Amino acid sequence: MPSRPMIGYTHVTKSFGPLRAVDALSLDIAEGEFLAIVGRSGSGKTTLLRLANRLIEADGGSITVEGEDVRNIDPVALRRRIGYVFQSGGLFPHLSVADNIGITPKLLGAPAAEIAARVDELIELVQLERAAHRDRLPEALSGGQRQRVGVARALAARPRIVLMDEPFGALDPLTRDALGEDFRELHRRLGLTTVMITHDMTEAILLADRIAVMRSGKLLAQGTPAELSDSSDAYVLELLRTPRRQVERLNALLPQGGAA
């Protein structure tokens, strides 16, 4: 790695009782990179993400953020530097869209007028409608709109790093596609470093610069899609076969050039 990684995991281990959820894992994420983490349910993806902002603490090894050992960073300060988008959106159901988005600046003691201006800016950034959505409760939003609020909230404190735990999982394919593209553009425009967990290899290939494959708490492979397809591991190759098979079936079923 030529320069210091934005997030660096070195021999990180986290056990829950006898289970090693993350097992001596090393991984560097470069500044500006968009990394996707894929792997079966229970392979340790969420645990890995939560270790970075100290939602859980590692048992062994070390984790750095912008070169600093996370153990030396106050957890609250750390979470201000790292936006986190939860799988289900994780919005507070009793708070309006605006209050959900503004919760971090509010906890940081920002003045009300400043929070309001920042909330408006973020609503625009994630392409929600200020007039229609600002004062609604999360229950009155579609799943895709809720995820946009989740992204806005994660960006509120202007973090340089965003961690996303299956952010687009429960959405229909078109919404998912649109949100993925929109986020990729935000990632670029804001110069973010993004780590996104996904179950969907096609999504990982389309959005990420690099893909990390986890199995049983270990890093099985990492690289660009092209690099991964050179892997000799059967599971990695199987993961890559699925998108390929989908493309072949679609090509067979859809008339070529059928954009109409």
Ligand X SMILES: Nc1ncnc2c1ncn2[C@@H]1O[C@H](COP(=O)(O)OP(=O)(O)OP(=O)(O)O)[C@@H](O)[C@H]1O
Check binding of 222 to Mg ion (CB under 5 A).
no
For the record, the structure tokens of 112 come out as 């009300």
Contact residue for Mg ion among 9, 14, 46, 193 (CB under 5 A): 46
Check binding of 46 to ligand X (CB under 6 A).
yes
Check binding of 47 to Mg ion (CB under 5 A).
no
Stretch of 40-48, 148-156, 183-191, 246-254 lying at the interface with ligand X (CB under 6 A)? 40-48
Smaller CB distance to ligand X: residue 39 or 150?
39
CA dist., res. 159 & res. 181, Å (int): 20
Check binding of 53 to ligand X (CB under 6 A).
no
Smaller CB distance to ligand X: residue 119 or 201?
201
Smaller CB distance to ligand X: residue 19 or 247?
19
Check binding of 21 to ligand X (CB under 6 A).
yes
Smaller CB distance to ligand X: residue 47 or 104?
47
CA dist., res. 147 & res. 254, Å (int): 31
CA dist., res. 90 & res. 149, Å (int): 10
Site residues (vs ligand X, CB under 6 A)? 16, 19, 21, 39, 41-47
Site residues (vs Mg ion, CB under 5 A)? 46
